[in-house]
Amino acid sequence: MAQQYSSVLLEKAVNEFAKLPGIGRKTAMRLVLHLLRQDTSMVEAFSNALVTLKHEIKYCKKCHNISDTDLCGICANPLREASVVCVVENIQDVMAIENTQQFKGLYHVLGGVISPVDGIGPSDLQIDTLVKRVEEGGIKEIIFALSPTMEGDTTNFFISRKLSGFDVKLSVIARGISIGDELEYTDEVTLGRSIVNRMPFTGIN
């Protein structure tokens, strides 16, 4: 049965919130009532942040990361190693890798992975622009950092074929058991592969 709202304005605001993924009508109502209890300035700041973002956001013309400028802060930084490019699925993955502070190269954001089931083919992704970057020269290594799934592996394979004619080293981020995991509870596939792909012991692995 449809909810009875005592206010059309309230109903509209709840409807807008309920369009967001993972936000049901009860949660939407709770969020709207929370905003109603805040100062007008806070609600305006919330609203402005979204509209400004939508109007002014850019995507880096080099790596397709989200950016406030034509070239993102990472691509524009002369201290980053421009010869190493890490291929990721989306901008959350860029943030996750940046947070590790272990990578000093540049990125290339594909915007997804090849997934016939979801109707996503190579032409829907930023694969041609990656090939172009390699063609332009200066790139020595491409690191694949896609999810270790069927779709991620398919995409890695597709890109590796596209780059087969170039003198560029291809790597993939290490797969194995997570640091701190208990062997007993690790899934068989991961454990099996981590034995096959065992690494030389250095004392600080």
Interface positions with its own copies (CB under 8 A): 1, 3-10, 12-13, 15-17, 19-23, 27, 29-36, 40, 42-57, 60, 65-68, 72-74, 91-92, 94-95, 98-99
Q: In the bound complex, what is the minimum distance in angstroms from residue 44's beta carbon to its own copies?
A: 6
Residue 7 token pair: 């206010």
Q: How far is the CB of 203 from its own copies (least distance, A)?
A: 26
Query: With respect to its own copies, which residue has the nearer C-beta, 27 or 115?
Result: 27
* Nearer residue to its own copies within complex by CB, 69 or 149: 69
- Between CA 106 and CA 126 the distance in angstroms is 15
Count how many Cα atoms sit within 13 Å of the Cα of residue 66 in the half-sphere of its side chain.
12
Q: Which among 74, 50, 51 has a CA at the least distance from the CA of 61? A: 74
Q: Which is nearer to its own copies, 66 or 177 (CB)?
A: 66
- What strands, in cross-sheet order, belong to the sheet with 141-144? 105-109, 81-88, 141-144, 169-172
Task: Measure CA 136 to chain center.
Answer: 25
When the beta carbons of 51 and 179 are compared against its own copies, the nearer one is 51
Minimal distance, residue 199 CB to its own copies, in Å: 26
Shortest CB 112 distance to its own copies, Å: 12
Q: How far is the CB of 55 from its own copies (least distance, A)?
A: 7
- Of the pair 55, 161, the CB lying nearest its own copies is at 55
Is-contact 85 108, C-beta < 8 A?
yes
Task: Indicate the SS3 state at residue 120.
Answer: strand
User: How far from chain centre, in Å, is Cα 187?
Assistant: 25
